[in-house]
Amino acid sequence: MSASSIRLPLWARAVASAGTSPAGQILLGVDYYPDQTPEALWEEDSRMMSEMGFTNVRIAEFAWALMEPSEGKFEFGWLHRAIQILHKHNIGVILGTPSAAPPPWLSAKYPDIFEVNAQGQRLRPGGRRFTCPTNPVYRKLSLAIATQMAKKFGETEGVIGWQIDNELTLGTSLRCYCNFCQAGFQNWLRTRYTTLDNLNQSWGTVFWSQTYTDFSQVPVPLLSGGDPNPGLALDYDRYQSYANVSFTEEQLTMLRQMCPTHFVTTNNVGLLDTIDMCDLYAKLDFAAFDNYPGFFDMLMAQEGKPPSSDGIATTISLGHDLARSVKGGEPFMIMEEQSGKAGQRTFAPQPEAGQVRLWTYQAVAHGAMGVNYFRWDTATFGAEEYWHGILNHDRSKSPAYEEIRQTVKELKALGQEVLYSQYAAQMALVFDYDCSWALKIQPGHYALDYMNQVTSWYGAISASHTGIDVIAPEADLSPYKIVFAPLAYVMSEKQAAKIKSFVQGGGMFVTNFRLGVKTETSQIVRTPLPGLLRDVMGVTVADYVPIYSAKNAVKFAPALAGPDGECGLWADILQPTGAEVLASYTKGSHAGEAAITMNTVGSGKAVYIGADLDGASLARVLRTLSGLAGIKPPLEVPPGIELTVRRAGDKQWTFVLNHTAVSQSVSIPKTFTDLLTGKTRTGKIDVSGYGVEVLQSA
Ligand SMILES: [Zn+2]
């Protein structure tokens, strides 16, 4: 097959046809606000962006009031002039639909559109993201403004694609509990359960006299005199995810009809678990995530955690791996990349010299096909007036200006073959929204949190540098040597069958406490735990123990040799029915009982980690198990260095990313060429603080 016969994805064709970037290059742009900038500066801005090497901007996602100053009266003249100027300078345009911030005339006329939070309070206008995803008037008006934009700009030169809305659900309230959502939820339940008898049985509504005799009686899980039915609460999370996805798809359907040559996406914060990202991006052209590493630094300090460049780096990588995985390994885009101090009331710090470049390469190393920096010029007004961009308040160049210009130049020179190469993962980490939601409803321990567990496990296994896909619970496991599934609390029969077949076929499955406790309808299984996986794990859970003041500890068998580990929040007490014991509890009434087991099934292994291990022990255990599964790091590197490997045919590139401020030595076993400098690299190489090398086998 010749290169010209390969059908490029829609985003690549859109970019190439607009002439802003040759086919095969990646998008390197900036988020721009002509609506907030005097028109006299647009020409200068566009010229400077062009000099920076940018291929595109994203604009207009918060400009509803300017585009529709009163209901049904549309004014796109200013936007058209901005697009023309940008296009003249060869800058492509991604248009944002503005539904995240309705204008005051709309709020005043239709106060029913306001979201109701978990305390039953109605949000007020004045900020952004205060609207209900179900409300039919809000949906109709959101679709109307997006449709008018599509009519106006569907054929406009320079427009290459669309971003629907902005950071869905990311506001002061992550869920809406209004009357419209209640009615929407009831309709969704009619489709899901068909009959009331089925719904009542599935939720167990006989408890506390909650048997429903009409779908219209079903409440939303607002404050009551006791906790809601767990089945109802889990379904409400699913409904809210669905409502946001279907809201997005209304605009998508219209855009597909009216702008068939444009790509369409929406941007999100990857590690926010309010919407099932696989559902959200299923029909969109690619996933687009926003990346603000400085916030993790700020959050760790707030939580009293010691500074950790490794912790921040792996949290970012987890987001990137999720972004790539939600579309089955397809390239993703960073729609907003931190370029300066960022935040509204308090600010993440200015990135150190080299960090913005490093974060850009980190995204590309994990499979990004585009990076847009946030934002071009820094606003002098509004809630985000301290959210620093590439130009300062006085339009002088920010500390990252030259660094970004250099990075764009380097990436353009890197070439299509590297940028389009594949990220191949040997390991998978299951990310299950049902488990995250069900554990928020009933964590069992106040400090037990699904996202924390997933992040800890990702941090531990990423140290092997062999690639991690972040997969849905019922995904195909066959491409992987080892699959990790922490807190697999809700287990479907389909998922259990896939795990069994994966282990029988020679894979290693590693999981931990709270395994298989719940059915998909959030009832507890009627068999001994771990329910559907009892045979494959080769254990029965004799008891499950939340831990507060009476701390426990574990002693490891030789296979996992190391100092005794702490057991922090939880202990599943394991009774082997065929599995080998790899660690035992040492304290209290369960001293001597099994804490970690490994079962052999067919040619594979199933490992149950019953104890909530301290970080160092968890890292050692997961690394040891990875080694048993045949995982070998491509290079031995010190902490703070991240590696990713990209492949195309028999060619291979190793991205070496130094997340620390100091130079680090890495031993390389053969001769490579550093594509960024063209230099030959061999033996022991020094990677500068926040430095990057892209090594190609010589
Ligand atoms: Zn609502």
DSSP code per residue over 509-562: EEEESSTT-B-TTSPBPSSSTTGGGHHHHTEEEEEEEE-SSS-EEEEE-GGG-S
68 catalytic? Reply is: no
Residues 457-476 pLDDT 10s: 999 999 899 999 999 999 99
pLDDT at 306: 81
Q: What's the confidence (pLDDT) of residue 21?
A: 65
Q: By three-state DSSP, how is residue 75 classified?
A: coil
Average pLDDT of the chain is 95
**235 near 219, Cβ under 8 Å?**
no
Measure Cα distances from 485 to 239, 377, 378, 509 in Å: 24, 43, 42, 8
State in Å: Cα 1 to ligand 1 middle: 51
Residue 445: pLDDT over 80: yes
| Contact between 620 and 560 (Cβ < 8 Å) | yes
Ligand 1 centroid to Cα of residue 172, in Å, is 14
Cα(117) to ligand 1 centroid in Å equals 9
Cα–Cα dist 459/456, whole Å? 5
- How many angstroms is it from 130 CA to the middle of ligand 1? 10
* Sequence-separated (6 or more) residues with CB below 8 Å from residue 468: 321, 425, 427, 428, 429, 458, 461, 462
- pLDDT tens, position by position, 6-39: 567 788 887 777 676 665 678 999 999 999 999 9
**Helix segments in 225-292, DSSP class H:** 230-258, 277-281
Q: Is the pLDDT of residue 332 over 50?
A: yes
Catalytic residue status for 336: yes
Give the per-residue pLDDT at 5: 45
Helices (H), 154-259: 179-193, 196-203, 230-258
| Residue 216, Cβ density class (10 Å: 0-12 exposed, 13-18 middle, ≥19 buried) | exposed
Least Cα distance to 272 among 166, 426, 403 occurs for: 166
What is the pLDDT, as a whole number, of residue 697? 83
Q: In 3D, which of 592, 558, 560 has the Cα closest to residue 576?
A: 592
Whether the link from the prior residue into 530 is cis, omega within 30° of 0, is: yes
**CA dist., res. 223 & res. 244, Å (int):** 23
Backbone angles phi, psi at 648, to 5 degrees: -145, 115
Query: What integer pLDDT is reported at residue 420 of this predicted model?
Result: 84
For 464, which DSSP code?
G
Kindly state the greatest CA–CA separation across the chain: 76
Other CB atoms within 10 A of residue 599 CB: 22
With pLDDT > 90 as the criterion, what percentage of the chain qualifies? 89
The residue annotated as part of the active site, out of 61, 115, 336, 337, is: 336
Give the pLDDT score at 23. Answer: 57
**DSSP 8-class letter at 71:** T
pLDDT in tens, 568-614: 999 999 999 999 999 999 999 999 999 999 999 999 999 999 999 99
Q: Retrieve residue 180's tokens.
A: 């419209």
Structure tokens at 135: 């409300």
Q: Which residue type does 188 have?
A: W
Token pair, residue 688, equals 């500068």
* Predicted pLDDT at 2: 39
Say what the pTM is: 0.96
Consecutive H or E run containing 594: strand 594-601
pLDDT 10s digits, 336-383? 999 999 999 999 999 999 999 999 999 999 999 999 999 999 999 999
Q: How far is the CA of 697 from the centre of ligand 1 (A)?
A: 55
509 forms beta bridges with: 483, 606
Tell how far the Cα of 520 is from the centroid of ligand 1, in angstroms.
Answer: 24
How far, in Å, is the centroid of ligand 1 from the Cα of 138? 10
Task: Provide the strand spans (E) within 32-136.
Answer: 56-59, 92-96
Tokens 């190793």 -> residue? 654
Q: Ligand 1 center to residue 180 CA distance, Å?
A: 5
Q: With H, G, I as helix, E, B as strand and everything else as coil, classify residue 70.
A: strand
User: Taking the CB of residue 432, how many other CB atoms lie within 10 A of it?
Assistant: 26
How many angstroms separate the CA atoms of 688 and 667, rounded? 14
* pLDDT over 50 (residue 4): no
What is the torsional sign of CA 666, 671, 675, 676? Answer: positive
pLDDT confidence of residue 3: 41
Name which of 53, 664, 694 is nearest 407 in CA terms.
Answer: 53
* Residue 548 half-sphere exposure toward CB, CA atoms < 13 A: 3
Per-residue pLDDT averaged across 533-545, rounded? 98
- Which stretches of 574-681 are DSSP H helices? 615-628
Catalytic residue among 68, 115, 167, 337: 167
Measured in Å, residue 201 CA sits from the centre of ligand 1 at: 27
Other C-beta atoms closer than 10 Å to the C-beta of 211 total 15
Would you state the pLDDT for residue 415? Answer: 82
pLDDT tens for residues 128-162?
999 999 999 999 999 999 999 999 999 999 999 99
Closest CA to 372 of 161, 94, 154: 94
Contact 146, 139 (CB under 8 A): no
Alpha-carbon torsion (402, 405, 411, 414), positive or negative? negative
Q: What is the structure's pLDDT at 9?
A: 79
